Amino acid sequence: MTITQAMVLAAGLGTRMRPITDTIPKPLVKIAGKSMIDYVLDLLVEAGVETVSINVHHHADQMVTHLEARRDLEILISDERAELMNSGGGLAKGLKLLTNGPVLVMNADLFWVGEQQDLPTNLQKLAAGFDPARMDMAMLCVDMDRTTGHNGKKDFNFAEDGHLSRYQEGQPHPVVYAGAIAMDSRLLEDAPEGAFNLNIYFDRAIAKNRLYGVMLDGQWITVGTPDAIEDAERTIAAN
């Protein structure tokens, strides 16, 4: 299936990116001359997304001004100026601006380069692999050797049938969560009020054997600190 709507989580404080983020929001930090959020939005457009909800908090006015310049997407602002909602609360609030149904969810500061040409993109594969009859979520995952800027943490174990479970030492296929999910927006209809972490829903899905993974093609990039920018730009240049 093609998923035509998305939510981008962009409201974080970017604390580890200081002093850069003292004056601009982290998603607007430029890597190789392009803002991180524009890498993310370009990937969504390429996958067929037409409408996207984006939450804002830190330097929110700068975010809104930047996003207003995009003409290739309908962008809806989920305003968190008054209160940060964490990943889960922010997602639950932002989804209310969209139509009920399948949705892609992405972090504003995680992206990838080097996908194989003439093949479905990572997000197209993720959307096609999402089966709501069997899954609460399909999660884009990446092997450790395809990451740039990652701290080495192993998030999940990827089973042969695609099931994901929390990684435990010694398991055969550790993977990193690559910051993209396909899900049905109605999954969060029972979300608690206020701020909460999206990990609650990851763990619920694992408990029901309804969390699946799709493996990323290309090189995944995370930029957590100012000194990681150079590594990211080197990876982009190589791809």
The per-residue pLDDT for range 113-167, each reduced to its tens digit, is 999 988 999 999 999 999 999 999 999 999 998 999 887 789 999 999 999 999 9
| Span 31-60, pLDDT tens digits | 999 999 999 999 999 999 999 999 999 999
Can you name the residues that pair with 223 across neighbouring β-strands? Answer: none
Residue 99 has what pLDDT? 94
Residue 103 has what pLDDT? 97
Residue 170 has what pLDDT? 83
- To the nearest 10°, report the CA torsion of 86, 44, 27, 107: 30
| Span 199-239, pLDDT tens digits | 999 999 999 999 999 999 999 999 989 989 999 999 999 88
Can you name the residues that pair with 77 across neighbouring β-strands? Answer: 54
52: CATH:
3.90.550.10
Which pLDDT band holds residue 5 (cuts at 50, 70, 90)? very high
Domain count, the chain: 1
- Tokens representing 142 are 């990446």
Mark out the alpha helices in 70-142 (DSSP H runs).
86-95, 122-129
Tell me which residue of 195, 199, 180, 202 sits closest to 12, measured CA to CA.
195
Residue 155 has what pLDDT? 92
| Span 166-189, pLDDT tens digits | 999 888 899 999 999 999 999 999
Which pLDDT band holds residue 70 (cuts at 50, 70, 90)? very high
Domain span including residue 48 = 5-238
Query: What distances in angstroms separate CA 35 from CA 61, 115, 153, 154, one per listed residue?
Result: 16, 19, 25, 27
The number of C-alpha atoms within 13 Å of 32 and in the hemisphere containing its C-beta is 14
Tell me which residue of 164, 145, 147, 144 sits closest to 213, measured CA to CA.
164
Residue 1 has pLDDT above 80, yes or no: no
